[in-house]
Every structure is written in C-alpha cells, then in structure tokens.
Homo-oligomer: A and B are copies of this chain.
Amino acid sequence: MGKKRNAFYAQSGGVTSVINASACGVIETARQNRDRIGKLYAGYNGIVGALREELIDTSKESAATIAALRHTPSGAFGSCRYKLKDLQSNKAEYERLIEVFKAHDIGYFFYNGGGDSQDTAHKVSQMGEQMAYPVTCIGIPKTVDNDLPFTDCCPGFGSVAKYVAVSTLEAGRDVASMCDSSTKVFILEVMGRHAGWIAAASALAGRQAEESPHIILFPEIAFNQQKFLSRVKREVKRNGYCVVVASEGAQYKDGRFIADAGRKDAFGHTQLGGVAPTLAGMVTSELGYKNHWAVADYLQRAARHIASATDVEQAYAVGKAAVEFALAGNNAVMPIIVRKKSKRYRWSIGSVPLSKVANVEAKMPRNYITRDGFGVTEAGLEYLAPLIEGEDYPPYKNGVPQYAQLKKVLVEKRIKKRFKV
C-alpha cells in the first residue's frame, strides 16, 4: 500500500450522454477510498485544464451532485479537442503536465476519452517514468463511434444507438402514415466518421414489425449513386415510402465523402455534415420523390433523456474499475467491456494495456453488413441489440430533465509560470 496521493480526472474529445456516468464512477469510487486517494481534481475543459493548472476540486461538490452526474449528459467539467503531440515534437507539453501533477501531488491520472486520449494517457505514463515522477495512468473508454479496439463496445455508443433506433422507428412511422399523398423518402443523417456503428443501430428499429429503415449507408461500403437511387425507387414502389439512414462518413469508392464540408477540426479530421441534404438533392433531381431530411448532429450524442440503461451501467462501471485498477497497482491500462458467451446478454470488466489501444480503429466487421451493403445482418443485430436495452430516465422538473449543476471550484494555482495552450 502506497501513501495517499491526489488524483486527476479529465474528459476528452466529443462528449457523450454518459461520459459523466464514468466521472461519477471515478469520483464515487475515489471517495470510497479516501485512505489511498486524497483530493480528486478534474481538468477544467479536459487536459488543457491540467496544462493551464485549472483544476476543479471535486471535493467541493456534494454527494448528491456527484450522484446526479450519472444522469447528466455532456462533459460536466468541460472537455476539449486537444491532442498532445508526440514526445519528440512537443516534449514541453508533457513536462508541463508532470510539473502540474507534481505541484499538486497527483499520483493518479484518469483520462476519459477515445483512441487519441488513450494514446496520450500512455505517453504521460512513459513521460512520468522518464522524469522520475511516476504517475499511474488509466484510460477510460468513451466514444459514440464505438471504434475502440478490444472492448466489446464503447460507453457512449449504446445511448446514441438507442437514440438513433428510436428516432428511426418514430420517423419511419411518420413517413409511413403520410406517404400516400406526401413525403415518400426520408433521410436521417447520423454520426460515424469512419465506422458505421451508429447508422447500423438504426436497424434495431426494424427488428419487430417495423419496416424502417429500408436503406443504411455505411462508411465501410463505397457509395454508388446509381445503386442507391435504384434501391430507393424499389423501396418506394414496394412499400410506398423509403427511410434512409446515412453515416456522416459515407463515402465514394475513391474516399471522397458524400458531403465533404472541406473543414478540418483540431485533430486534422475532416469536419463533415450535409450528407442528408446532398442525398435528398439526388432523390429530388433523379427520382422526383418528395422527400424530407434530418440531421441529428449533437442531439444524438447529448440525448441523455433516452439513454440506454446498459450503456449507463457500463459507463459507470469503467469509471469505477479505473480507480480500482489504479489502486490495485495497475498502470497504463484501460478497462474494457467483455461480453460473456451466454444466451442472455452478460458482461464483465476486463483490461487492456494502453500501448495496444492507441490509435487503432475498430470498423464494423463485413459480416455485420448485408451482402448488398444496405442493411445489417442477423449477426450484426445480435451484437447491437443488448447495447440499447433498458431505459434510465433522468429526473424531471418543470417538464425538462434536471441535470447536475456543478460549482466547479478551482484549486489555487501553485506554479507561477503560465503555459500557453
């Protein structure tokens, strides 16, 4: 048993409706281990909060507020799109991190993010060793894109999957009821830059007697306008209407996105948007069907009101496990969800070294996508179905969810030198 040290937790990258459930798991578990973990600081706006020495003292938040994080979407402490460069090209950033950690006696670093963040957590653990200031670094998986390797699924995905399945079901019924004299084609654009997991989840709408969605467009399958349009036509002829769910990352064979906005974000990723109106334009000009389109954008990943109970539980569990792993002496690992081989869905927590996770993207297996490239196979549905199981409603007041309101008290700075981020 080591001596009591402080801990630092930060949220990274695009937020989800359950990332705060992971924060809740981390903080509540740390509070249960006050003999080992002193103060738990949270980065104000993620890792840049550490670089700027802007640390939120979570001990100032009541137990009720921390408990409310479990049902609160988005990043309660602030997140950021800020990727630390590699050790060679920007060693100063890592040195600054370690300096801040040292100044606040931080011995545990919990980094809640996607692939890029797991990479950063890994590098920080290496840097700590190099600088003779050992820090236990634990990654906590989070991404709506479900594209982290090793883990059966990523906390954040199940809830956006549920949102997309429910929205597709509901909008599909809307179109079905109007198609005789009005809209015949409805196109819903969902997130998923390189992996079609979110779009695939829409297929869960159709598991029962529902017909929607008729066509799903995945980034994994090269888009062919002719094939797409003739399929739309076939579905309209057959059902009277056609519901299309398109990944924002859907692309042509040559890698051009269907709607490339041409802008890039801080990580150098192309910023997408506008697939749905682009497809709608094709339908209008080539087929002439009246159509409508929706772009869910942030609504989908913020939709805590329709979160998956399974996802919330798993998000909390990986946060809890992160602290338990750290206290058990593990370093540079990430808790993962392990699906048990059982008829009824069961899962447990495992772990994987951060060195293996970093910058590996998990695309959808080809056998989850139907042969024609427009649907999800039974194998895919079996994988997806349990992830949206269960409802976990937030409390409401005045007709809207009552989400946590944090005080966000910053710790007094101890380093004179400011660091420009």
Q: Identify A308's interface contact among B45, B397, B399, CB under 8 A.
A: B399
Chain B nearest CB, measured from A259 CB (Å): 10
Chain B minimum-CB-distance residue to A402: B208
Chain B binder among A59-67, A103-111, A169-177: A169-177
B273 and A292 contacting across the interface, CB-CB below 8 Å: yes
Complex Cα distance A177/B177, Å? 39
Interface string of A393-411 (1 = CB under 8 A from B): 1001111111101000000
| A132 is an interface residue with CB less than 8 A from chain B | no
Complex Cα distance A162/B396, Å? 12
B305 and A298 contacting across the interface, CB-CB below 8 Å: no
A182 and B265 contacting across the interface, CB-CB below 8 Å: yes
Chain B binder among A72-80, A91-99, A348-356, A362-370: A72-80
Q: Contacts A173-B74, A391-B396 hold; do A80 and B403 have CB atoms under 8 A apart?
A: no
A399 and B403 contacting across the interface, CB-CB below 8 Å: no
Chain B binder among A147-155, A228-236, A382-390: A382-390
A298 and B14 contacting across the interface, CB-CB below 8 Å: no
| A142 is an interface residue with CB less than 8 A from chain B | no
Q: Which of A204, A295, A388, A397 has the largest count of B CB atoms less than 10 A from its CB?
A: A295
Which chain B residues border A274 with CB–CB below 8 Å? 277
| A306 is an interface residue with CB less than 8 A from chain B | yes
Chain B minimum-CB-distance residue to A76: B177
| A252 is an interface residue with CB less than 8 A from chain B | no
B293 and A182 contacting across the interface, CB-CB below 8 Å: no
Which residues in chain A, 229-279, are within 8 Å of chain B measured between CB atoms? 263, 265-266, 271, 273-274, 276-277
Which chain B residues border A181 with CB–CB below 8 Å? 45-46, 48, 80-82, 266
Q: Contacts A174-B74, A177-B76 hold; do A81 and B166 have CB atoms under 8 A apart?
A: no
| A186 is an interface residue with CB less than 8 A from chain B | yes
Which chain B residues border A297 with CB–CB below 8 Å? 171, 186, 292-294
Chain B nearest CB, measured from A116 CB (Å): 13
A397 and B266 contacting across the interface, CB-CB below 8 Å: no
Which chain B residues border A188 with CB–CB below 8 Å? 299
Q: Identify A80's interface contact among B73, B79, B182, B266, CB under 8 A.
A: B182
Q: Contacts A181-B266, A399-B165 hold; do A298 and B294 have CB atoms under 8 A apart?
A: yes
Q: Contacts A178-B14, A208-B397 hold; do A403 and B165 have CB atoms under 8 A apart?
A: no
B80 and A170 contacting across the interface, CB-CB below 8 Å: no
Which chain B residues border A176 with CB–CB below 8 Å? 74, 78
Can you name 27 A-B residue pairings with CB atoms under 8 Å?
A14-B178, A46-B181, A73-B173, A78-B178, A79-B178, A80-B180, A80-B181, A81-B178, A81-B181, A166-B305, A166-B400, A166-B401, A167-B299, A169-B401, A170-B299, A170-B302, A171-B298, A204-B399, A204-B400, A207-B398, A207-B400, A209-B405, A263-B284, A292-B298, A296-B296, A299-B299, A389-B398
Lowest 3 CB-CB distances: which A-B pairs, in order? A388-B399, A75-B177, A294-B297
Residues of A within 8 A of B (CB): 11, 14-15, 17, 45-46, 48, 72-82, 162, 165-167, 169-171, 173-178, 180-182, 186, 188, 204-205, 207-209, 263, 265-266, 271, 273-274, 276-277, 284, 290, 292-299, 301-306, 308, 385, 388-391, 393, 396-403, 405
